[in-house]
Amino acid sequence: MAKKQKTFRPKARIPRGFKDRLGPELIAEREMLARVSAVYEAHGFDPLETPAFEFTDALGKFLPDVDRPNAGVFSLQDDDDQWMSLRYDLTAPLARFVAEHYDALPKPFRRYQVGPVWRNEKPGPGRFRQFTQCDADTVGAPAPHADAECVVMLSEAMEAAGLAREDYRVRINDRNVLTGLLETIGIDEARDAQTKLGVLRAMDKLDRLGEAGVAALLGEGRKDESGDYTEGAKLDDASIARVMGFMGATAETNAATCDALSDLIGSSEAGAKGVETLSAMAAQLAALGLDDAGAKIDLSVIRGLEYYTGPVFEAELAFDLKDAKGRPVQIGSVASGGRYDGLVARFKGVEVPAVGISVGVSRLLAALELQGAAAASRGPVVVLALEKDQMASYQAMATDLRAAGIRAEVYLGGSNFAKQLKYADKRAAPLAIIQGEDERAKGEVTIKDLVLGAELSREIEDNAEWREGRQAQTTVKRGALVEAVRKALDRG
């Protein structure tokens, strides 16, 4: 007898570093994006949308030097044998767009963009392989004025996202300052490109790894808690000490930091240029209301991407975060940006100045959720359907509420009273609208406050028990439904 072939059933699972998202989170993200986008539009930026896929060679950071160019990006080969990759940020596609339409665009070109990006890297708390960014960039304007404007917008965007001024810190630095440091330890950026990247990437991890971890990455390398080993920059002890000393040279005031930098790297042409730019930005920001506390020059700010060429900046949270088990959680920066004058030049062959900021909305929402500051999403008003033959009447109630701008739905899953209340509770409904035979005969409806919905759904078993309780409910004429619901929602 032939053995019966087993039917294959795939396991329901999701790849590591990705997540499913439900209504409350998506609504919170949508509302945050709308507020941040409004800041960008107020500054005169127009929206742009580019495709999720770009040709891999156009992305620039990850060139296909092996059979499959998958170092940090998700890639596939098109049917014409060209490699395409999911965008890892929104800036590289902008550079491609500007180069492609350069002559037709106004200069400076000011755009903002919202959308998901993908990174094929190790996930962690608040760090996903797919996440949402909200960028604003100016292409065609040199430093320092456009850079100062970006820092102002970054601060405004943080507050539009829901943070108070004391909840975040904006830190700024300049890649020319870093170039000056590299020159003082004998690293030629053109000849020693890999060493340079190793040093900068190690410095960029100070907040996450601490001084010991950075020093290890500047030297031979480092093994993390999972056992993964990262090769180091192979600097000698004297050079490591100089780099660590540089990162610790941030002074109390921006002016004092610039003075210290002049002494440390002022002999370097690039270093002197960076100090001059930072000094000019600090003065302009102070005039615009962002003093040393609002926008701090911090020499530990690196920004890991290779294409930054001038000022760099980031915003980080000023409060500690813990997970559900009370363990500390490192989120890192929630917004960042900088100047990348060489990015469009990859296509055009001539330098085009550009600067921008990016708000990591997914990471910021994750941080607010851990802090417990994320606003709870309020569900729709639910009209209970107690009698099947009255469905048109129930739908009319919901229609009247929606016409008044109130989210409302009719329960469509059956007539069981307890199940309907449990449904409204799971939907985070603030109110339930109830009209049974008695209410209908009097031309009335009952508005039930469901702030205590979870408790009610456990205790109430039938309509009679509900009628005996009579808690947190109001009965009004059918014609007064909309006004009564609006007042109840306003009280909530």
Identify the DSSP state of 108. Answer: S
Place of tokens 């600097």: 235
Helix then strand then coil, in percent of the chain rounded to 5, is 40, 20, 40
Query: Which residue range forms the structural domain that includes residue 336?
Result: 23-52+87-371
Same domain, 212 and 238: yes
Instruction: Assign residue 464 the CATH number of its domain.
Output: 3.40.50.800
Cis peptide bond N-terminal to 142, omega within 30: no
Residue 225 lies in a domain: yes
Domain count, the chain: 2
Contact 375, 428 (CB under 8 A): no
Residues 345 and 481 in one domain: no
∠ at Cα 50 (48, 56), nearest 5°? Answer: 145
State which amino acid sits at residue 15. P
pTM score: 0.79
- Which residues, at least 6 apart from 111, have a Cβ–Cβ distance to it below 8 Å? 45, 46, 47, 48, 94, 136, 137, 139
Q: Out of 330, 353, 371, pick the residue that ends a domain.
A: 371
Residue 8, token pair as written in the block = 């294959």
Q: Report yes or no on 77 lying in a domain.
A: no
Residues 189 and 139 in one domain: yes
Question: CA–CA separation, 304 vs 266, rounded Å?
Answer: 24
Residue 58 resides in a domain: no
DSSP secondary structure letter of residue 318: S
Rounded to whole angstroms, the Cα distance separating 35 from 306 reads: 30
Cis peptide before 108 (omega within 30 of 0): yes
Q: Do residues 297 and 311 touch, judged by C-beta distance below 8 A? A: no
The tens place of each residue's pLDDT in the chain, 492 residues long, gives: 567 788 889 999 999 999 998 888 888 899 999 999 999 999 999 999 999 999 988 887 654 444 445 578 899 999 898 999 999 999 999 999 999 999 999 999 999 999 999 998 888 766 789 989 999 999 999 999 999 999 999 999 999 988 888 889 999 999 999 889 999 888 887 778 888 888 888 888 887 888 999 999 999 899 888 878 888 988 989 899 888 888 888 899 999 999 989 888 888 899 999 999 999 999 999 999 998 988 999 988 887 556 789 999 999 988 877 777 777 777 778 899 999 998 898 898 889 999 999 998 888 888 887 776 555 678 899 999 999 899 999 999 999 999 999 999 999 988 789 899 899 988 889 999 999 999 999 999 999 988 754 454 455 555 555 555 545 789 999 999 999 999 999 876
324/433 same-domain check: no
| N residues, the chain | 492
